[in-house]
Structure formats: structure tokens, C-alpha cells
């Protein structure tokens, strides 16, 4: 069961990171290779921060040890 929840959490954080990256890059009007690199870095950073925040929240609530 935990494996399924982990996979769903990874998909959710990755999707949210990708959406944020797309919004940032399209708002700035960047395209081409520079836009792709900025989107990748932004998306990975956002997904990682969301994962860390989720784990910290679940540990604070007591659902994870």
C-alpha cells in the first residue's frame, strides 16, 4: 500500500512542478533551449520542495516516523 501512495505522491509532486515550470517559463516568454533548461530546473526544484514539504508535514502530524 505504501508503494502505491509513494508513486501517487511522486506523480503529484512531479506534475505540480511541471505545471509551475510551464507557468513560469511561459509567463516570462522564454522559448528554445534556454526556456527548456529553465523549465527543467524550475520543475525539478519545485517538485523536490513539494516532496520535502509533504514528508515534513506527514512527520509533524505523526503519520511517518
CA distance 19 to 3: 24
Each domain of the chain, given as residue ranges in start order, spans: 31-65
The cell for 38 is: 529553465
Please name the residue ranges forming H helices in 1-65: 2-28, 32-61
Model confidence pLDDT, tens digit, residues 31-62: 999 999 999 999 999 999 999 999 999 999 99
How much is the pTM? 0.84
Using DSSP, state whether 30 is helix, strand or coil: coil
Please give the C-alpha separations between residue 27 and each of 49, 52, 62, 65, in angstroms, as whole numbers.
Answer: 21, 26, 39, 40
Q: Which residues contact 54 (CB under 8 A, 6 or more apart)?
A: 9, 13
Residue 16 has pLDDT above 90, yes or no: yes
Amino acid at each position: 500500500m505504501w508503494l502505491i501512495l509513494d508513486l501517487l505522491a511522486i506523480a503529484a509532486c512531479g506534475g505540480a512542478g511541471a505545471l509551475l515550470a510551464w507557468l513560469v517559463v511561459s509567463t516570462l516568454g522564454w522559448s528554445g533551449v534556454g526556456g527548456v533548461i529553465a523549465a527543467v530546473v524550475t520543475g525539478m526544484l519545485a517538485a523536490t520542495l513539494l516532496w520535502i514539504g509533504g514528508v515534513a508535514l506527514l512527520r509533524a502530524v505523526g503519520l511517518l516516523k
